[in-house]
Amino acid sequence: MSQQLSSDEIRKLCANLVYQVAYAFYDTPYIIILKLMVHDNVTTELELANKLGLTTPEVRKYMGTFGLHRLLRRHVNKEKVPIPEWRLKQLNAQAQAQASNNKPGGGQNGRERTKDVHYWYLDYREFADVVKYRLAMMRKDIDDKIKQEVGHRGYICPMDGRMYDPLDLSNVFDPFTNSFKCEDCSTELIEHDPTVSQNGVNTTAQDAMQRFNIATAPIRDALKAVESVNIPALNIVAWIAQNVKTSVAQKDGQMGDDADKRFEVVIGQEEDQEEKERLAQKQREQNALPHWYTHSTVTGQATTLGLADRKRREMLEERLRSRKVGEKDIEDESLAAHYEILGEGEVDGTAADGTEEDVPSGREGPAEAQAGLVEVKTEPEIVAGVLGVTEDEGDEEDDEDGMEDVTPIGAEAMEQGIPESGTGKTVMGE
Amino acid sequence: MSCCRELTHTILLHPSYFGAQLEDYLRQKLYEDVEGTCSGKHGYIISVITITDIGEGKIIPSTGQAKFKTTYTAIVMKPFKGEVVDGKVVNVNKMGFFAMVGPLQVFVSCHLTQAEMKFDPNSSPPCYRSNDEIIQKDTKVRMQIVGCRVEANDIFAIGTIKKDFMGQIKED
């Protein structure tokens, strides 16, 4: 209960500090923004713009000032945002204009786009530090000014107003009257303090410090109050992870890149495990029981301790071996899947040629997909080339396949060609 | 700050001094000419220590005077801003007091004394008085130079005693 109360109080103290600073040093728009920031703590530029009824660039201008003054902090987060309808239509129109057949895949991704979203938030600890520093600098400035003006203090002739520097005094000293006399009119000089105006009222530097102290008293009080308490820090990354649903990372997870991701992770883990295992092995070797523990020094037989140790070691080795085998299986499977995908891609690619539909489908037969990949590329050459030449090539299996697949097409072509010519001839003949 | 410096001075000697006593005359003339003078470059020349080279006399045709370019080593004293010096008060008035640091005159304004130090015009001689200090004529004071005005043949400085360990030097 008391914890709740105190944290509430802390928030109130922090808010008070922010308000004091805002009202003391900033114009109305800035005050409003700071108040909103205290209320929301974290906000995006868009959100703020909507609340204020301003455009985002205007808000950014104001926030930029705060950023420059280091009162607010910015965090840029990459997020997927849906593209608005009108923009989508434009894009579609463009896509159609391009008229490329590879686009449909990209079209689905195109409904959303990655965008930098600027988050602004209040870090009260930094805010307090910045305010403290700036107050100290202001005080130092005023102090320097006062010191400087004290150095410029001189003397003035009340009659003709001629001013004298303290360093001029040696010339105007009159030993008879034991005083300083004006060089022109021999009137006794009086002190002149540039910080004091004619009617004896302090004007600038002298009471500047006083006025400064009075003006900043509320801020200093607020600072003192905040000083003693433990201000809760805000972790913006954590906050975004909790409160923002459309960050890129999450979207990526939902999309089809899963397989790739998992693949990478597996590799990482593998390396990690290898490293771990290596370390564990090292440690095991280091911690291995000495010979005189595991074996009797008299009879040379294994002791109970030695037997237990050996058993444990065997178990470990077995576990290791089984794991390695398992890993290999996984690797093979994923590799096979990968090659399968590659093979399919090839099918699509060659399908465009149309005439050779049979050839690649026949090629899928061989287990080594990679070999198939190479062959497919050469296929058009084979087909286009003279059939007789391919027969001479070395690899028997491939040759047979080639023969089987290619010859029928050739035969068909021949058949088609011959009858046509035949009919032509017959017509001619007739 | 005081230090030794190698300086040169040109002496013109009237022909009536040309004789056996020539060197003595030259020395005397050098002492008279330079000791106690002040130049903006070197500050006050307090005293000639040694004469390194009396120089070769050259007769100037028109006048018959001999010109000697002498080199000598002298103690010079030049005040610097920020330097702490000890001096003796020579004059006290309501604006402040004057103190002499050797040949240098330093003025300390009443604003550059401790805040509680007040001018007492009724005492004789007039003085500045605080709880534990009295500054009047012939009091020894320690002050810091805050500004210097160097003229062709004089230097004037203003000082402050508004700092720790400044003010009256009490002799036990």
The domain locations on chain A are 258-343, 371-424
Residue from B89, B90, B94, B95 to probe the interface with A (highest A Cβ count within 10 Å): B95
Per the CB < 8 A criterion, the answer to whether A215 and A24 are in contact is yes
- What pLDDT score does A178 carry? 83
Q: Note whether B161 and B88 are same-domain residues.
A: yes
Q: pLDDT tens-digit profile of A359-400?
A: 444 444 444 444 434 444 444 444 444 444 444 444 444 444
Q: Which of A89-98, A397-406, B9-18 has the lowest mean pLDDT?
A: A397-406
Residue from A173, A177, A180 to probe the interface with B (highest B Cβ count within 10 Å): A173
Strand runs labelled E in A40-160: 42-44, 73-82, 112-121, 154-156
- Is the pLDDT score of A38 beyond 80? yes
- Is the pLDDT score of A83 beyond 80? no
Query: What total number of domains does chain B contain?
Result: 2
Report angle CA B141, B144, B148 to the nearest 5 degrees. Answer: 115
Q: Note whether B46 and B62 are same-domain residues.
A: yes
Q: How far apart are the C-alpha atoms of B169 and B172, rounded to whole Å? A: 10
- Average pLDDT over chain A reads 71
- Is the pLDDT score of A146 beyond 50? yes
- What pLDDT score does A151 carry? 59
Q: Note whether B164 and B89 are same-domain residues.
A: yes
- Is the pLDDT score of A104 beyond 60? no
Of A271 and B159, the one with more pLDDT: B159
CA nearest to A213, candidates A106, A139, A155, A309: A139
For range B89-107, the mean pLDDT? 92
- What pLDDT score does A179 carry? 85
- Is the pLDDT score of B69 beyond 90? yes
Kindly state the helix (H) or strand (E) to which residue B127 belongs, with its residue range: strand B127-129
Find the CB nearest B109 among A166, A173, A178: A166
- Is the pLDDT score of A407 beyond 50? no
Cα within 13 Å of Cα(A266), Cβ side: 13
Tell whether the torsion through CA atoms of B136, B142, B147 and B150 is positive or negative: positive
For range A171-181, the mean pLDDT? 85
- Is the pLDDT score of A353 beyond 80? no
Q: Note whether B55 and B71 are same-domain residues.
A: yes
- Cross-chain Cβ contact B158/A169 below 8 Å: yes
Whether this prediction's pTM lies above 0.90 is answered by no
Q: Could you tell me what percent of chain A has a pLDDT over 90? A: 9
Q: Note whether B69 and B90 are same-domain residues.
A: no
Instruction: Tell me how close the Cα of A144 comes to any Cα of chain B, in angstroms.
Output: 16
Final residue of a structural domain among B77, B97, B126: B77
- Cross-chain Cβ contact B156/A170 below 8 Å: yes
- What pLDDT score does A428 carry? 42
- Supply A48's token pair: 């703020």
Q: Which of A17-26, A327-336, B38-47, B121-130 has the lowest mean pLDDT?
A: A327-336
Q: Note whether B73 and B89 are same-domain residues.
A: no
Alpha helices in A229-257 (DSSP H): 236-243, 248-254
- What pLDDT score does B139 carry? 93
Cα within 13 Å of Cα(B6), Cβ side: 3
For range A200-222, the mean pLDDT? 78
For range A297-304, the mean pLDDT? 84
Q: Note whether B111 and B130 are same-domain residues.
A: yes
- What pLDDT score does A324 carry? 65
Interaxial angle between packed helices A2-25 and A28-40, expressed in degrees from 0 to 180 and rounded to the nearest 10 = 170
CA nearest to A243, candidates A79, A112, A123, A71: A79
- Is the pLDDT score of A269 beyond 60? no
pLDDT band for A329, please (50, 70, 90 cuts): low
Q: pLDDT tens-digit profile of A253-268?
A: 444 444 444 444 444 4
- What pLDDT score does B99 carry? 95
Amino acid at B167: G
Instruction: Tell me how close the Cα of B151 comes to any Cα of chain A, in angstroms.
Output: 11
Q: Which of A141-145, A213-217, A418-422, B93-97 has the lowest mean pLDDT?
A: A418-422
Q: Note whether B37 and B95 are same-domain residues.
A: no
Final residue of a structural domain among B41, B59, B77: B77
- What pLDDT score does A227 carry? 83
Q: Note whether B164 and B88 are same-domain residues.
A: yes
ipTM reported for the complex, 2 dp? 0.74
Kindly give, in sequence order, each residue whose CB lies less than 8 Å from that of residue A173, ignoring residues fewer than 6 positions away: A179, A180, B91, B98
Interaxial angle between packed helices A2-25 and A124-151, expressed in degrees from 0 to 180 and rounded to the nearest 10 = 40
Q: Rounded to whole angstroms, what are the CA distances from A224 to A26, A220, A227?
A: 21, 6, 5
Minimal-distance CA residue of chain B relative to A180: B95
Torsion from C-alpha of A97, A98, A99, A103, nearest 10 degrees: -120
CA nearest to A404, candidates A417, A392, A391: A391
Q: How far apart are the C-alpha atoms of A207 and A3, rounded to whole Å? A: 44
Instruction: Tell me how close the Cα of A155 comes to any Cα of chain B, in angstroms.
Output: 10
CATH of the domain at B31: 3.30.1490.120
Residues in A closer than 8 angstroms to B146, CB to CB, are: 151
The boundaries of the domain holding residue B17 are: 2-77
Residue from B106, B109, B151, B154 to probe the interface with A (highest A Cβ count within 10 Å): B109
Of A249 and A225, the one with more pLDDT: A225
Of A352 and A44, the one with more pLDDT: A44
- Is the pLDDT score of A298 beyond 70? yes
Instruction: Tell me how close the Cα of B117 comes to any Cα of chain A, in angstroms.
Output: 17
- Is the pLDDT score of A297 beyond 80? yes
- What pLDDT score does B48 carry? 94
Residues in B closer than 8 angstroms to A170, CB to CB, are: 105, 107, 149, 154, 156
For range A234-245, the mean pLDDT? 80
pLDDT band for B4, please (50, 70, 90 cuts): very high
Q: Which of A207-216, A328-337, A363-372, B114-123 is predicted most confidently? A: B114-123
CATH of the domain at B164: 2.40.50.140
For range A154-166, the mean pLDDT? 84
Cα within 13 Å of Cα(A61), Cβ side: 6
Q: Which of A141-155, B64-78, B102-116 is predicted most confidently? A: B64-78
Per the CB < 8 A criterion, the answer to whether B141 and B99 are in contact is yes
Q: Note whether B53 and B36 are same-domain residues.
A: yes
- Is the pLDDT score of B111 beyond 60? yes
A118 DSSP β-pair partners:
A76
- What pLDDT score does B71 carry? 95
- Cross-chain Cβ contact A155/B146 below 8 Å: no
Q: How far apart are the C-alpha atoms of A403 and A389, rounded to whole Å? A: 11
Per the CB < 8 A criterion, the answer to whether B138 and B125 are in contact is no
Minimal-distance CA residue of chain B relative to A155: B95
Per the CB < 8 A criterion, the answer to whether B127 and B168 are in contact is no
Q: Could you tell me what percent of chain B has a pLDDT over 70? A: 100
- Cross-chain Cβ contact B149/A173 below 8 Å: no
Residues in A closer than 8 angstroms to B156, CB to CB, are: 167, 169-170
